[in-house]
Structure 1
Amino acid sequence: MADSKPTIVFLHGFLESNEIWHDFLRDFPTDYNTLCPNLPGYGPDATPPADYSVEAAAEYVQRYLSEQHAHRVLLVGHSMGGFVALAFAEKYPGQVAGLCLFHSSASAEKEEDHERHQRNRDFLAQHGVEAYTEEFLKPQFSPSHRESMTNEVVLLQRVAAAVPLEIALGSLDALTRRAERYDVLRKATYPVLFIAGKDDKAVPLEKIHKESLLADHSMVLWLANVGHVGFLERPADTRRAIEGFAGLVFQL
């Protein structure tokens, strides 16, 4: 149950689980209550959801927070978790004290990306999740880290391989159908932090720059030699950024 401390909610991405935050939060300041839910369909003993959409996931997060008695929170969403955080902020803006898009974006799936996602879906359906992780997860790291961060690559592959194929396919389809949410940033009455890797092929720098100009109060942490997984590639720097942002959000 949440206590009187300010609450930060960490939302994982596609083919991840709340396990990705375990080491990241190990030395996080005790001034905050940190919550790391598994999104619908993810984590041990999870069952396939009736609705894979990011909107349904946002409603799940709202119910989870209600159970935890957490009413106004800082949302930190990695990749798909950022899409869920934006959907949450759209529907429950009064519960959002701050928003951190961690290698994530408010854009919808672009037409030019449809073919790539269809190839990914076909590969998943034909070869399974474990083969997909071996083929597609390593490139999420910056080229400068792909060979040196073997343990981190193996961690992501292990977590991803535990996701049932049905969940993986449903989530991937939901990602392709996600809505554009630029208006969430334009209407934000709270601070927004973008954490961006300069080697992130999934969320290009120009997209982050464009979106960072939409919110009234936004900040961007640009990280060299970082791809799509800054919580593993630069954990100290990204953790420090979130700590500092939380202090701003909650005026600590």
Structure 2
Amino acid sequence: MNNCHFLFHRHACIRYQVKGEGFPLVLLHGFLEHLGIWESFSDHLSTHFKVISIDIMGHGWTRAARKIFTVEFSASLINDLLSYLHIDRCLMAGHSMGGYSLLAMEELYPEKVAGMCMFHSIPWGDTAERKQQRDQLIHLIREGKRSLLVQQHLSSSFAPENMTRFAAEVERAKNIAMESDSTELISAIEGMKIRKDRTFVVESTHKPILWMIGEKDAYISKEKLLEVAQKTKNGKIVLLPHSGHMGFIEEKEKSAESFMWLYRQVLQG
């Protein structure tokens, strides 16, 4: 990818990309993705924002010598990168797994976060059943069946009718999913398993929170997430009727427009 940069810091290598000018907006991708998954969406947003996309620990070309990549460690590296880029305050959006690091940022480095977007993401921790499912993912990776894992993951990520409609984007997401190092992925999965429940973070803050929820999301309980989202003090819920778990692709324009609410809330605050 063009215009990518690397920060070597604290025995870690962080890959990132910056597009556009304006108020900073940080994009944190989901599981089996890297910053490239945002390419079209970040182009769209860069007409209004300075968009910083980051490879989260365990994905893409971000690396660190650790057996487990906790979301707290991921947040610390994101904070270090923002300091390096002289960004004191920003909007931050986390897609699925990226939302876990976002909420860790809000808890540990709240001064950096002006507003949040939980993009198909949840604040609660893993259930025993979900941890078992993650162990199964690790088993598939270690057995050399990563292509099967990716195929299963993507078939549930997009709404069924969008698998054909966005065939090129699905294929690109598949290629992106195969690019991360297997050992690094396992470290990221282990970190997700032990993350704590941060529902208290979203329920206690007065900062604006944008909740992007796909009507056809196979990974998230819409009812449970709506129950939490409706309790936030300054929240906006955007339902994407034609989206599964990839609304920034499946309903790109509507998703991008929703970010302007987040920006207006920060300006008014």
TM-score bracket for this pair, using the shorter chain length = over 0.9
Pair 171,248 (structure 1): closer, same or farther in 2 beyond 3 Å = same
Partner of 1:124: 141
Who is 1:172 aligned against? 189
Other structure's SS at 1:75 match: strand
Looking at structure 2, the residues matched to 80 and 42 of structure 1 have their Cα atoms a distance apart, in angstroms, of 11
Who is 1:182 aligned against?
199
Equivalent AA in structure 2 for residue 238 of structure 1:
S
Partner of 1:207: 224
Partner of 2:72: 55
Distance apart, 1:3 and its partner CA: 10
Is it true that 1:35 corresponds to 2:66 in the alignment? no
C-alpha displacement of 1:4: 8.5
Which one is further off, 129-138 or 153-162? Answer: 129-138
Distance 2:45 2:113 in 1: 21
CA distance in structure 2 between the partners assigned to 1:4 and 1:17 by the alignment: 22
- Stretches (4+) displaced over 6 A: 1-4
Mapped pair 1:134 → 2:134: no
Determine helix, strand or coil for the equivalent of 1:74: strand
Matched letter for residue 101 of structure 2: V
Is 1:153 the counterpart of 2:173? The answer is no
Map of 2:14 onto structure 1: none
The aligned residue for residue 113 of structure 2 is 96
**SS at 1:194 equivalent:** strand
- Given the two structures, how large is their TM-score scaled by the length of structure 1? 0.92
Distance, in Å, in 2 between the alignment partners of 1:221 and 1:15 is 24
SS in 1 for 2:163: coil
Preserved CA contact (<8 Å) 2:19 2:43: no
Counterpart check, 1:24 vs 2:35:
no
Q: Do the aligned residues in 2 keep the contact of 1:97 with 1:250 (CA within 8 Å)?
A: no
Deviation string 1:140-159 (CA, Å, 9 cap, x unpaired) is: 11112123321111111100
Structure 1 residue 2: deviation in Å? 10
Whether contact under 8 Å (2:209, 2:234) holds in the other structure is yes
Identify, as 1 or 2, the structure richer in strand: 2
- Give, in whole Å, the separation in 1 of the partners of 2:154 and 2:21: 38
Q: Distance in 2 between matches of 1:21 and 1:250?
A: 25
Q: Classify the secondary structure of the residue corresponding to 2:232.
A: coil
User: How has the CA–CA distance of structure 1 residues 110 and 26 changed in structure 2, closer, same or farther, with 3 Å as cutoff?
Assistant: same
Q: Is 1:108 the equivalent of 2:142?
A: no
TM-score (norm 2): 0.87
With CA pairs under 8 Å and 6+ residues apart, which has the higher RCO, 1 or 2? 1
> Partner letter of residue 91 of structure 1?
L
CA offset at residue 206 of structure 1?
1.2
Aligned to 2:267: 250
1:84 to 85, 101, 108: 101
SS of residue in 1 equivalent to 2:42 = coil
Moved more, 46-55 or 95-104: 46-55
| Secondary structure in 2 matching 1:189 | coil
Taking a change above 3 Å as real, the CA distance of residues 115 and 18 of structure 1, as seen in their structure-2 partners, is same
Answer yes or no: is the 8 Å Cα contact 2:20–2:46 preserved in 1.
no
CA contact (8 A) 2:21 2:46 kept: no
Report the counterpart of residue 74 of structure 1 in structure 2: 91
Q: How does 1:213-224 map to 2 (within 5 A)?
A: 213-224=230-241
Is there any run of 5+ residues in structure 1 with no aligned partner, and where? none
Report percent identity of matched pairs.
25
Query: How many residues are aligned here?
Result: 251
Which of residues 17, 20, 25 in structure 2 aligns to 1:8? 25
> What is the distance in 1 between the residues matched to 2:134 and 2:84?
35
Shift of the alpha carbon at 1:29? 4.9
In 2, are the aligned partners of 1:129 and 1:164 still within 8 Å (CA)? no
**5+ unaligned residues in a row in structure 2: which ranges?**
1-17
Residues 62-114 of structure 1 deviation map (CA, whole Å, 9 limit, x = unaligned): 00000011111111000111000000000011221101000001010012323
